[in-house]
């Protein structure tokens, strides 16, 4: 994988890291205003990509996307009867169509299987296979080591606050999406 060279983060007057290349490129979008929200969005995206790259390496070349890995992990903790496509989609915050494609991939690789719902013959559930459980177990230790390394130097309080902040971003995005879908507007409300 080819890596694009990025500028090294430096510290601002308050001691917080920032990327001068991102800051400079965001100035045009901010039209003279603060670049902080734009820089933060870029930093969140960069952090997410860094974690996904580590997860991909831990996948041992098996080629599972982050989405397929998330579905497999959810199936690994599900009850014996598995989960419906709708349940998987709601848990992941994606469409049922998206989950169907992910399940197709997992099923093709022998990691998951569709089974008839015992209570509703019209419905199908998805369960993890023994090979899927083995795959998750082999993935667990390298992932734990990688996440420990990527969050090196973070205290438990740092991690809890960071998790909280990320989930608040997700909550705001969901509220905006709900507003846009029910209001007929094509832009979020001004804050």
Q: What are 144-189's pLDDT values in tens digits? A: 888 888 899 999 999 999 999 999 998 898 889 888 888 888 888 7
Regions of the chain with pLDDT less than 50: 1-2, 5
Is 166 contained in some domain? Answer: no
Q: What is the pLDDT of residue 149?
A: 87
Q: What is the pLDDT of residue 2?
A: 47
One domain for residues 76 and 135: yes
Q: What is the pLDDT of residue 101?
A: 93
Cβ burial, residue 78 (10 Å; 0-12/13-18/19+)? middle
- How many domains are contained in the chain? 2
One domain for residues 50 and 82: no
Is 117 contained in some domain? Answer: yes
Question: What are 126's two structure tokens?
Answer: 């998805």
Question: What are 86's two structure tokens?
Answer: 């709708």
Q: Identify the domain containing residue 32 by its residue range.
A: 1-58
Q: What is the pLDDT of residue 164?
A: 95
As a whole number of Å, the CA-based R_g of the chain is: 20
Is 130 contained in some domain? Answer: yes
Is 172 contained in some domain? Answer: no
């Amino acid at each position: 994988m080819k890596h694009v060279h990025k500028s090294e983060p430096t510290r601002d007057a308050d001691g917080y890291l920032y990327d001068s290349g991102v800051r400079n490129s965001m100035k045009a979008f901010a039209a003279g205003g603060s670049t902080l929200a734009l820089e933060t969005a870029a930093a969140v995206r960069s952090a997410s990509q860094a974690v996904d790259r580590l997860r991909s390496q831990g996948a041992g070349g098996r080629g599972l996307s982050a989405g397929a890995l998330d579905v497999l992990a959810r199936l690994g903790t599900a009850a014996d009867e598995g989960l419906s496509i709708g349940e998987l989609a709601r848990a992941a915050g994606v469409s049922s169509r998206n989950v169907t494609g992910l399940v197709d991939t997992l099923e093709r690789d022998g990691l998951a299987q569709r089974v008839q719902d015992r209570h509703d013959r019209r419905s199908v559930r998805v369960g993890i296979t023994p090979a899927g459980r083995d795959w998750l177990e082999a993935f667990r230790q390298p992932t734990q080591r990688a996440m420990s390394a990527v969050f090196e130097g973070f205290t438990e309080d740092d991690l809890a606050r960071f998790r909280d902040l990320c989930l608040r971003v997700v909550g705001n995005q969901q509220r905006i999406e709900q507003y846009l879908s029910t209001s007929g507007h094509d832009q979020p409300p001004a804050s």
